[in-house]
Amino acid sequence: MTAMNNPQLLTAIKEARRVFVCTHVQPDGDAFGSALALYEILISLGKEAVVACQDPVPIKLRYLNNWDKVVAPEKVTQVSDLSIAVDASGVNRMGTCADVYFLSPCTVQIDHHTTNTFFAKVNEVDATAAASGILVTRLALALGCTVTPDMATCLYTAISSDTGNFSYGNITSEVFQQMALFMEAGLPLSDTARSLHLMQSKGYVQLLGRALNTLRFIDDGRISGMSLNLKDFEETGALREESDGIVNEGLYIGGVEMSYLATETAEGIKFSLRSIVSRKVSGVASFFGGGGHAQAAGCLIEGEMAPALEKMERAMIKELHK
Ligand SMILES: [Mn+2]
Protein backbone atom coordinates (compact mmCIF):
# COMPACT_ATOMS: atom_id res chain seq x y z
CA MET A 1 0.00 0.00 0.00
CA THR A 2 1.26 3.51 -0.79
CA ALA A 3 2.59 5.52 2.17
CA MET A 4 3.14 9.27 2.04
CA ASN A 5 6.54 10.19 0.67
CA ASN A 6 7.06 13.75 1.89
CA PRO A 7 10.06 13.96 4.26
CA GLN A 8 9.44 17.65 4.98
CA LEU A 9 5.90 16.97 6.13
CA LEU A 10 6.85 13.95 8.23
CA THR A 11 9.67 15.92 9.90
CA ALA A 12 7.36 18.86 10.57
CA ILE A 13 4.92 16.55 12.37
CA LYS A 14 7.63 14.70 14.29
CA GLU A 15 9.13 17.96 15.52
CA ALA A 16 5.88 19.68 16.46
CA ARG A 17 4.61 19.66 20.03
CA ARG A 18 1.33 21.42 19.43
CA VAL A 19 -0.58 21.26 16.12
CA PHE A 20 -3.44 23.37 14.80
CA VAL A 21 -5.60 21.39 12.35
CA CYS A 22 -8.25 23.12 10.26
CA THR A 23 -10.50 22.43 7.32
CA HIS A 24 -12.68 24.30 4.86
CA VAL A 25 -15.88 26.31 5.26
CA GLN A 26 -19.15 24.44 4.58
CA PRO A 27 -17.37 21.27 5.70
CA ASP A 28 -18.31 17.87 4.27
CA GLY A 29 -17.48 14.26 5.08
CA ASP A 30 -13.99 14.48 3.59
CA ALA A 31 -13.27 17.70 5.50
CA PHE A 32 -14.13 16.41 8.98
CA GLY A 33 -13.34 12.74 8.31
CA SER A 34 -9.81 13.75 7.30
CA ALA A 35 -9.37 16.41 10.01
CA LEU A 36 -10.59 14.17 12.85
CA ALA A 37 -8.54 11.18 11.65
CA LEU A 38 -5.51 13.48 11.58
CA TYR A 39 -6.38 14.68 15.09
CA GLU A 40 -6.39 11.11 16.38
CA ILE A 41 -3.10 10.35 14.58
CA LEU A 42 -1.48 13.38 16.25
CA ILE A 43 -2.82 12.46 19.69
CA SER A 44 -1.55 8.88 19.24
CA LEU A 45 1.91 10.37 18.58
CA GLY A 46 1.73 12.22 21.90
CA LYS A 47 1.09 15.66 20.39
CA GLU A 48 -1.26 18.31 21.64
CA ALA A 49 -3.75 19.05 18.88
CA VAL A 50 -6.74 21.25 18.23
CA VAL A 51 -9.20 20.96 15.31
CA ALA A 52 -10.93 24.11 14.11
CA CYS A 53 -13.47 25.03 11.47
CA GLN A 54 -15.24 28.30 10.72
CA ASP A 55 -18.55 26.42 10.44
CA PRO A 56 -19.99 23.87 12.89
CA VAL A 57 -19.87 20.11 12.34
CA PRO A 58 -22.92 19.13 10.22
CA ILE A 59 -25.47 17.19 12.27
CA LYS A 60 -25.10 14.25 9.86
CA LEU A 61 -21.43 13.88 10.76
CA ARG A 62 -21.86 13.93 14.51
CA TYR A 63 -21.17 10.21 14.74
CA LEU A 64 -17.47 10.86 14.07
CA ASN A 65 -15.34 10.37 17.15
CA ASN A 66 -14.19 13.70 18.68
CA TRP A 67 -16.59 15.78 16.56
CA ASP A 68 -17.44 17.64 19.79
CA LYS A 69 -13.80 18.71 20.18
CA VAL A 70 -13.98 20.82 17.00
CA VAL A 71 -13.78 24.51 17.90
CA ALA A 72 -14.37 27.80 16.12
CA PRO A 73 -11.02 29.44 15.25
CA GLU A 74 -11.69 32.47 17.49
CA LYS A 75 -11.72 30.07 20.48
CA VAL A 76 -8.09 29.08 19.79
CA THR A 77 -5.89 31.18 22.10
CA GLN A 78 -2.57 29.31 22.04
CA VAL A 79 -0.22 29.55 19.08
CA SER A 80 0.84 26.13 17.71
CA ASP A 81 4.27 25.11 16.34
CA LEU A 82 2.59 23.68 13.27
CA SER A 83 -0.62 24.34 11.32
CA ILE A 84 -2.13 21.73 9.01
CA ALA A 85 -5.01 22.54 6.66
CA VAL A 86 -6.87 19.59 5.16
CA ASP A 87 -9.12 19.51 2.08
CA ALA A 88 -8.89 23.30 1.61
CA SER A 89 -7.89 24.27 -1.95
CA GLY A 90 -7.01 27.87 -1.07
CA VAL A 91 -6.69 30.34 1.79
CA ASN A 92 -10.20 31.70 1.18
CA ARG A 93 -11.63 28.18 1.66
CA MET A 94 -10.32 28.19 5.25
CA GLY A 95 -12.51 31.17 6.11
CA THR A 96 -11.67 32.64 9.51
CA CYS A 97 -9.34 29.68 10.26
CA ALA A 98 -6.75 31.40 8.04
CA ASP A 99 -6.12 34.01 10.76
CA VAL A 100 -4.97 31.31 13.21
CA TYR A 101 -3.37 29.07 10.57
CA PHE A 102 -0.72 31.61 9.57
CA LEU A 103 0.30 32.38 13.18
CA SER A 104 2.29 29.11 13.35
CA PRO A 105 5.96 29.17 12.30
CA CYS A 106 5.33 26.14 10.05
CA THR A 107 2.35 25.63 7.74
CA VAL A 108 1.40 22.40 6.00
CA GLN A 109 -1.56 21.46 3.84
CA ILE A 110 -2.98 18.14 2.68
CA ASP A 111 -5.38 18.40 -0.24
CA HIS A 112 -6.59 16.85 -3.49
CA HIS A 113 -8.27 19.72 -5.40
CA THR A 114 -6.97 20.50 -8.90
CA THR A 115 -7.58 24.18 -8.12
CA ASN A 116 -5.15 24.16 -5.15
CA THR A 117 -3.11 27.35 -4.75
CA PHE A 118 -0.10 25.87 -2.85
CA PHE A 119 -0.48 28.36 -0.01
CA ALA A 120 1.48 26.48 2.68
CA LYS A 121 5.22 26.09 3.33
CA VAL A 122 4.82 22.34 2.82
CA ASN A 123 2.17 21.34 0.29
CA GLU A 124 1.05 17.73 0.07
CA VAL A 125 -1.31 18.09 -2.87
CA ASP A 126 -2.30 15.13 -5.03
CA ALA A 127 -5.12 15.89 -7.43
CA THR A 128 -5.27 12.26 -8.52
CA ALA A 129 -6.41 11.22 -5.01
CA ALA A 130 -10.16 10.70 -4.71
CA ALA A 131 -10.29 12.32 -1.26
CA SER A 132 -8.08 14.08 1.24
CA GLY A 133 -8.79 11.03 3.41
CA ILE A 134 -6.64 8.96 1.01
CA LEU A 135 -3.71 11.27 1.75
CA VAL A 136 -4.32 11.17 5.51
CA THR A 137 -4.31 7.35 5.36
CA ARG A 138 -1.01 7.48 3.45
CA LEU A 139 0.28 9.76 6.22
CA ALA A 140 -0.83 7.34 8.95
CA LEU A 141 1.06 4.55 7.12
CA ALA A 142 4.19 6.70 6.78
CA LEU A 143 4.09 7.55 10.49
CA GLY A 144 3.61 3.90 11.45
CA CYS A 145 0.30 4.65 13.24
CA THR A 146 -2.01 1.80 14.13
CA VAL A 147 -5.39 2.48 12.54
CA THR A 148 -8.07 2.32 15.25
CA PRO A 149 -11.78 1.61 14.59
CA ASP A 150 -12.53 5.33 15.21
CA MET A 151 -9.81 6.41 12.80
CA ALA A 152 -11.12 3.91 10.23
CA THR A 153 -14.63 5.35 10.63
CA CYS A 154 -13.33 8.87 9.98
CA LEU A 155 -11.25 7.84 6.97
CA TYR A 156 -14.02 5.71 5.47
CA THR A 157 -16.38 8.69 5.88
CA ALA A 158 -13.88 10.95 4.09
CA ILE A 159 -13.32 8.63 1.16
CA SER A 160 -16.89 7.36 0.80
CA SER A 161 -18.17 10.98 0.82
CA ASP A 162 -15.89 12.17 -1.96
CA THR A 163 -16.36 9.11 -4.17
CA GLY A 164 -20.18 9.04 -4.05
CA ASN A 165 -19.92 5.90 -1.95
CA PHE A 166 -17.30 4.36 -4.26
CA SER A 167 -19.05 5.11 -7.51
CA TYR A 168 -17.40 8.18 -9.09
CA GLY A 169 -14.72 8.21 -11.77
CA ASN A 170 -11.93 9.06 -9.31
CA ILE A 171 -11.62 5.53 -7.86
CA THR A 172 -8.32 3.67 -7.98
CA SER A 173 -7.25 0.30 -6.57
CA GLU A 174 -5.60 2.24 -3.71
CA VAL A 175 -9.07 3.24 -2.49
CA PHE A 176 -9.95 -0.41 -1.95
CA GLN A 177 -6.54 -1.29 -0.52
CA GLN A 178 -7.16 1.39 2.10
CA MET A 179 -10.71 0.11 2.63
CA ALA A 180 -9.27 -3.35 3.34
CA LEU A 181 -7.02 -1.74 5.96
CA PHE A 182 -10.06 -0.05 7.57
CA MET A 183 -11.99 -3.34 7.65
CA GLU A 184 -9.02 -5.06 9.30
CA ALA A 185 -8.91 -2.19 11.81
CA GLY A 186 -12.53 -2.89 12.78
CA LEU A 187 -14.53 -0.37 10.73
CA PRO A 188 -18.25 -0.71 11.58
CA LEU A 189 -19.12 -0.49 7.88
CA SER A 190 -22.87 -1.03 7.71
CA ASP A 191 -23.65 1.23 10.70
CA THR A 192 -21.45 3.99 9.33
CA ALA A 193 -22.75 3.62 5.77
CA ARG A 194 -26.31 3.84 7.07
CA SER A 195 -25.55 7.05 9.01
CA LEU A 196 -23.65 8.58 6.11
CA HIS A 197 -25.69 7.56 3.07
CA LEU A 198 -29.15 6.28 3.97
CA MET A 199 -30.34 8.39 6.88
CA GLN A 200 -31.72 11.83 6.09
CA SER A 201 -32.91 14.53 8.43
CA LYS A 202 -36.54 15.71 8.34
CA GLY A 203 -35.28 19.05 7.08
CA TYR A 204 -33.59 17.42 4.09
CA VAL A 205 -36.72 15.54 3.07
CA GLN A 206 -38.87 18.67 3.48
CA LEU A 207 -36.47 20.75 1.36
CA LEU A 208 -36.26 17.95 -1.22
CA GLY A 209 -40.06 18.05 -1.59
CA ARG A 210 -39.98 21.77 -2.23
CA ALA A 211 -36.99 21.54 -4.59
CA LEU A 212 -38.66 18.76 -6.63
CA ASN A 213 -41.64 21.04 -7.14
CA THR A 214 -39.33 23.41 -9.03
CA LEU A 215 -37.65 20.68 -11.12
CA ARG A 216 -37.17 21.79 -14.71
CA PHE A 217 -35.48 20.24 -17.72
CA ILE A 218 -33.34 22.22 -20.15
CA ASP A 219 -31.83 21.30 -23.53
CA ASP A 220 -34.08 18.29 -24.23
CA GLY A 221 -33.69 16.97 -20.71
CA ARG A 222 -29.89 16.88 -20.74
CA ILE A 223 -29.75 19.46 -17.95
CA SER A 224 -31.94 19.54 -14.85
CA GLY A 225 -32.39 22.38 -12.42
CA MET A 226 -34.03 22.95 -9.04
CA SER A 227 -34.18 25.93 -6.73
CA LEU A 228 -34.82 26.78 -3.10
CA ASN A 229 -35.82 30.19 -1.82
CA LEU A 230 -35.24 31.77 1.59
CA LYS A 231 -38.87 31.10 2.48
CA ASP A 232 -38.36 27.36 1.93
CA PHE A 233 -35.85 27.40 4.77
CA GLU A 234 -37.95 29.73 6.94
CA GLU A 235 -41.18 27.78 6.54
CA THR A 236 -39.66 24.34 7.13
CA GLY A 237 -37.16 25.44 9.76
CA ALA A 238 -34.56 23.42 7.85
CA LEU A 239 -30.90 24.38 8.14
CA ARG A 240 -28.89 25.55 5.17
CA GLU A 241 -26.65 22.48 5.39
CA GLU A 242 -29.71 20.24 5.09
CA SER A 243 -29.98 21.11 1.39
CA ASP A 244 -26.62 19.38 0.75
CA GLY A 245 -27.09 16.46 -1.61
CA ILE A 246 -30.38 17.61 -3.17
CA VAL A 247 -28.51 18.53 -6.36
CA ASN A 248 -27.65 14.83 -6.83
CA GLU A 249 -31.35 13.94 -7.08
CA GLY A 250 -31.49 16.08 -10.22
CA LEU A 251 -28.55 14.23 -11.77
CA TYR A 252 -29.93 10.76 -11.13
CA ILE A 253 -32.64 11.06 -13.76
CA GLY A 254 -32.51 9.23 -17.10
CA GLY A 255 -30.98 11.40 -19.85
CA VAL A 256 -29.67 14.09 -17.50
CA GLU A 257 -25.96 14.90 -17.92
CA MET A 258 -25.68 17.98 -15.71
CA SER A 259 -27.70 19.32 -12.83
CA TYR A 260 -27.83 22.38 -10.66
CA LEU A 261 -29.43 23.38 -7.39
CA ALA A 262 -29.87 27.13 -6.93
CA THR A 263 -30.23 28.36 -3.36
CA GLU A 264 -31.22 31.90 -2.48
CA THR A 265 -28.91 33.43 0.15
CA ALA A 266 -28.35 36.95 1.51
CA GLU A 267 -25.26 37.28 -0.75
CA GLY A 268 -26.94 36.11 -3.94
CA ILE A 269 -27.84 32.80 -5.57
CA LYS A 270 -25.60 29.90 -4.57
CA PHE A 271 -25.26 27.13 -7.15
CA SER A 272 -24.30 23.51 -6.55
CA LEU A 273 -23.39 21.81 -9.82
CA ARG A 274 -23.05 18.14 -10.73
CA SER A 275 -22.35 16.18 -13.90
CA ILE A 276 -21.94 12.63 -15.08
CA VAL A 277 -18.33 11.48 -15.58
CA SER A 278 -18.18 12.30 -19.31
CA ARG A 279 -19.13 15.95 -18.61
CA LYS A 280 -17.51 18.66 -16.51
CA VAL A 281 -19.04 21.41 -14.39
CA SER A 282 -15.78 22.80 -12.93
CA GLY A 283 -15.42 25.16 -15.92
CA VAL A 284 -18.96 26.49 -15.47
CA ALA A 285 -18.29 27.12 -11.77
CA SER A 286 -14.99 28.90 -12.37
CA PHE A 287 -16.61 31.04 -15.11
CA PHE A 288 -18.74 32.52 -12.31
CA GLY A 289 -15.80 32.79 -9.90
CA GLY A 290 -16.41 29.48 -8.09
CA GLY A 291 -14.51 26.21 -8.11
CA GLY A 292 -14.48 22.54 -7.21
CA HIS A 293 -14.06 19.23 -8.96
CA ALA A 294 -14.85 18.16 -12.53
CA GLN A 295 -18.13 16.49 -11.57
CA ALA A 296 -19.02 18.46 -8.43
CA ALA A 297 -18.53 22.20 -8.21
CA GLY A 298 -20.16 25.36 -6.93
CA CYS A 299 -20.36 29.12 -7.37
CA LEU A 300 -22.31 32.22 -6.42
CA ILE A 301 -24.16 34.54 -8.81
CA GLU A 302 -25.17 37.89 -7.36
CA GLY A 303 -28.66 39.26 -7.85
CA GLU A 304 -32.14 37.77 -8.08
CA MET A 305 -33.13 34.16 -8.74
CA ALA A 306 -34.61 34.47 -12.26
CA PRO A 307 -31.68 36.25 -13.98
CA ALA A 308 -29.18 34.01 -12.11
CA LEU A 309 -30.94 30.87 -13.39
CA GLU A 310 -30.88 32.26 -16.91
CA LYS A 311 -27.13 32.93 -16.72
CA MET A 312 -26.42 29.50 -15.29
CA GLU A 313 -28.55 27.66 -17.85
CA ARG A 314 -26.87 29.54 -20.70
CA ALA A 315 -23.40 28.61 -19.36
CA MET A 316 -24.39 24.95 -18.90
CA ILE A 317 -25.85 24.68 -22.41
CA LYS A 318 -22.63 26.19 -23.78
CA GLU A 319 -20.54 23.66 -21.83
CA LEU A 320 -22.68 20.80 -23.09
CA HIS A 321 -22.25 21.81 -26.74
CA LYS A 322 -18.51 22.49 -26.55
MN1 LIG B 1 -12.31 16.45 -0.51
Pairwise CA distance, residues 154 & 56, whole Å = 17
Q: Quick one: average pLDDT of 238-262?
A: 96
Ligand 1 center–CA 166 separation, angstroms? 14
Q: Quick one: average pLDDT of 2-31?
A: 97
Mean pLDDT across the chain, nearest whole number? 97
Ligand 1 center–CA 307 separation, angstroms? 31
Ligand 1 center–CA 117 separation, angstroms? 15
What digits encode the pLDDT tens for the residues 178-212? 999 999 999 999 999 999 999 999 999 999 999 99
pLDDT of amino acid 293: 85
Pairwise CA distance, residues 87 & 107, whole Å = 14
- Topology of domain 203-320 in CATH is Diaminopimelate Epimerase; Chain A, domain 1 (3.10.310)
| Domains of the chain, residue spans | 7-198, 203-320
Q: Quick one: average pLDDT of 222-231?
A: 98
Ligand 1 center–CA 235 separation, angstroms? 32
Ligand 1 center–CA 134 separation, angstroms? 10
Ligand 1 center–CA 77 separation, angstroms? 28
Question: Cβ(16)–Cβ(81) under 8 Å?
Answer: yes
Ligand 1 center–CA 209 separation, angstroms? 28
Pairwise CA distance, residues 73 & 298, whole Å = 24
Ligand 1 center–CA 155 separation, angstroms? 11
Ligand 1 center–CA 156 separation, angstroms? 12
111: helix, strand or coil: strand
Ligand 1 center–CA 29 separation, angstroms? 8
Ligand 1 center–CA 30 separation, angstroms? 5
Ligand 1 center–CA 193 separation, angstroms? 18
Ligand 1 center–CA 17 separation, angstroms? 27
pLDDT of amino acid 169: 80
pTM value surpassing 0.75: yes
Ligand 1 center–CA 2 separation, angstroms? 19
Q: 7-198, superfamily in CATH?
A: inorganic pyrophosphatase (n-terminal core) (3.90.1640.10)
pLDDT of amino acid 141: 98
Pairwise CA distance, residues 143 & 3, whole Å = 9
Ligand 1 center–CA 146 separation, angstroms? 23
Ligand 1 center–CA 213 separation, angstroms? 30
- When mean pLDDT is compared across 24-33, 217-226, 287-296, the lowest value belongs to 287-296
Q: pLDDT category, 168, cuts 50, 70, 90?
A: confident
Per DSSP bridges, beta strands 106-111 and 122-125 are parallel
Which residues 6+ apart lie within 8 Å of 190 measured at CB? none
Q: Is 252 exposed, middle or buried (0-12, 13-18, 19+ CB in 10 A)?
A: exposed
Ligand 1 center–CA 179 separation, angstroms? 17
Query: For residue 228, how many C-alpha atoms fall within 13 Å in the half-sphere facing its CB?
Result: 34
Q: Is the pLDDT of residue 84 over 90?
A: yes
